Amino acid sequence: MEGFNIWVKDTRCLAECEEKGMIGAMKARILREEEFGRWDEFVGGHAEKSDLLRQDRRSLLNVSDHTPPSVATPFLASHLFSAYPNRLGCLEQLTKWGRFSGRGKFWVVGLFEGEDLVGGCLVVRRALPLGFCWFYGARGPIVRERDKEIKREKIKEAIELLRGEVAKLARREKAIFWRIDPGVSREEEFLAEGFRFIEEGFYPQTTLMVDLSLSEEEILAQMKQKGRYNVRLAAKKGVVVRRDDQAVGEFWRLLKETTERDGFHGHGEEYYQRMISELGENAGLYVAEFEGEVLAAAIITYFGKVATYYYGVSGNARRELMAPYLLHFEIMKEAKAAGFEKYDLFGIAPLGLEKGHAWEGVTRFKRQFGGEEVNYARPQEFAFRRFWYWVYRGWKKARK
C-alpha cells in the first residue's frame, strides 16, 4: 500500500510540475529543431565570421588557407564568440554539446517574454536500467542578464517555469529526476523550489583559472617554482608541442596507461573522437612529443573568452622530460595569442581537503600552474518519481 501511495504522489508531482509552464508574462516551451540556431546565439555560440575576420585570424597565427582543419588553431575568441551575451552562457548549453553528450537525445526548453528568448536550459537524456532515464542540464539553466550580476530570484523563477516543460518530457521519457548545476559561484548558491543538493556531480565544484591577460613572462612568474622549472626543462630537452586533432589514437593509447597507473576509468576511444569531431571549433587536441614519440596529450575546449583543459593524459615513458608541463604552457600561449583571457584547469580538490581526495595527485600537478581558485555552487536534483529516485540513490551509494 505504501508503494501505491508513493506512486500516487509521484503522479501528482508530475501533474503539478506540468502546470508551472507560465508565470506572469513569461512562458516556457520546448524549442523546435529549426530554432536551435537562435538558442545557440543566445547562449553565445555563434558569430558572424566575415572573410576579413578569417584573414585577420590567419595572419596573426601564421596559418595558411590550405592548412588542414585537423591542425588549425581555433578562431580568435572575439571572432568565434562575439555574440556572447552573459556570463552564464557555456559550452555545455550549446546544441552541439547536446548532440555529443546526449547521443542525439536532447531538448532545449526555452523561456520567453512575449517573442523574446530570455533564458532556458539544454536537457540531455541519460539512460538507466528498466527503461528509465534521468535528465541533465549541465551548467544550466541560463538567463539573460539585465544587470552586471545575475539575481538568484531570477534564476529560481526561471527554473520553476522550465520545470513544467521538463515534467512533460519526464512523463513521456520515464525520467526519474532532473539534475542542474547552475554556473554561479558558491557564494551565489541557491536551492530551487522542490530540489535537493547533492555533493558531487559530473562537473568539478572547484577549479583554477589562469589569467591569460598577463604577459608570457608574468604567467610563468605566477606559477609555482617547480612548475616554472619543469616547463623550462622540457623545452631545453627538446619536447615539442603541436595541435593534431587526428591524434585520438595516440590520446587513447596514453589514456590506457594513465588509467592503469592512477586507478580511474576513462571513456572508450570513440567518445573522444566524437568530442573532437562534433564540437568542431570548440575543441582541439594537443600533443607533446619527443623525437617523434607522443608523451602527453590534452583535449581543450573553447567558449567565450575561456580555454578549458577538459581531458589530459600522459604515458609512462620518458617521464623525466616533464612533457605535460610544457604541453599546458604552450596551450596557454596559443590561447592567449588567439584572444582568450582565461585558462581553466577544470577541477581540483578544494584547498585544505587535498589529502586523501580522489584528485590529490592531479591537484598537486595543476597547482603548479598558479591561477585563482574558483568555487561553483553545488548541483541539485528534482525528483519526478520519488520512489524510483531513492532506489537510484541507494543503488549509487552501494556502488561506491
pLDDT in tens, 342-375: 999 998 987 777 787 778 889 999 999 999 999 9
The 8 Å CB, 24+ separation contacts for 218-225 are 219/329, 219/332, 219/336, 219/370, 220/329, 222/370, 222/371, 223/368, 223/369, 223/370, 224/367, 224/368, 224/369, 224/370
Beta bridge partners of 293: 290
Give the global pTM: 0.83
Scan for cell 538507466, then name that residue: 128
Question: Considering only CA atoms, which of 359, 277, 353 is closest in space to residue 96?
Answer: 277
Q: What is the DSSP letter of 395?
A: H
> What pLDDT is stored for residue 55 in this prediction?
35
Per the structure block, which three cell numbers stand in for 389?
Answer: 529516485
Q: How far apart are CA 280 and CA 277, in angstroms?
A: 5
Task: Tell me whether the CATH fold assigned to 2-46+83-203+377-399 matches the one assigned to 206-375.
Answer: yes
Do residues 335 and 307 make contact, with C-beta atoms less than 8 angstroms apart? yes
Do residues 179 and 192 make contact, with C-beta atoms less than 8 angstroms apart? no
Q: How many CB atoms lie within 10 A of CB 225?
A: 8
Give, for all 400 residues of the chain, the pLDDT tens digit.
Answer: 444 344 445 555 555 555 555 555 789 999 999 999 999 999 984 433 322 233 343 333 333 333 333 333 333 443 333 333 445 689 999 999 999 987 769 999 999 999 999 999 999 999 999 999 999 999 999 988 654 455 677 778 889 999 999 999 999 999 999 999 988 888 888 899 999 999 888 888 899 999 999 999 999 999 999 999 999 999 999 999 999 999 999 999 999 999 888 877 888 999 999 999 999 999 999 999 999 999 999 999 999 999 999 999 999 999 999 999 999 999 999 999 999 999 999 989 877 777 877 788 899 999 999 999 999 999 999 999 999 999 999 998 887 7
Angle, helices 225-237 vs 323-337, to 10°: value is: 90
Do residues 58 and 71 make contact, with C-beta atoms less than 8 angstroms apart? no
**Sequence ranges of the domains in the chain:** 2-46+83-203+377-399, 206-375
Which of these CATH numbers, 3.40.1350.10, 3.40.50.10490, 2.40.50.100, 3.40.630.30, describes 2-46+83-203+377-399?
3.40.630.30
Which of these CATH numbers, 1.10.357.10, 3.90.190.20, 1.25.40.10, 3.40.630.30, describes 206-375?
3.40.630.30
Per the structure block, which three cell numbers stand in for 160?
Answer: 520553476
pLDDT in tens, 234-288: 999 999 999 999 999 999 999 999 988 887 788 899 999 999 999 999 999 999 9
pLDDT in tens, 172-189: 999 999 999 988 888 888
Q: How far apart are CA 170 and CA 16, in angstroms?
A: 13
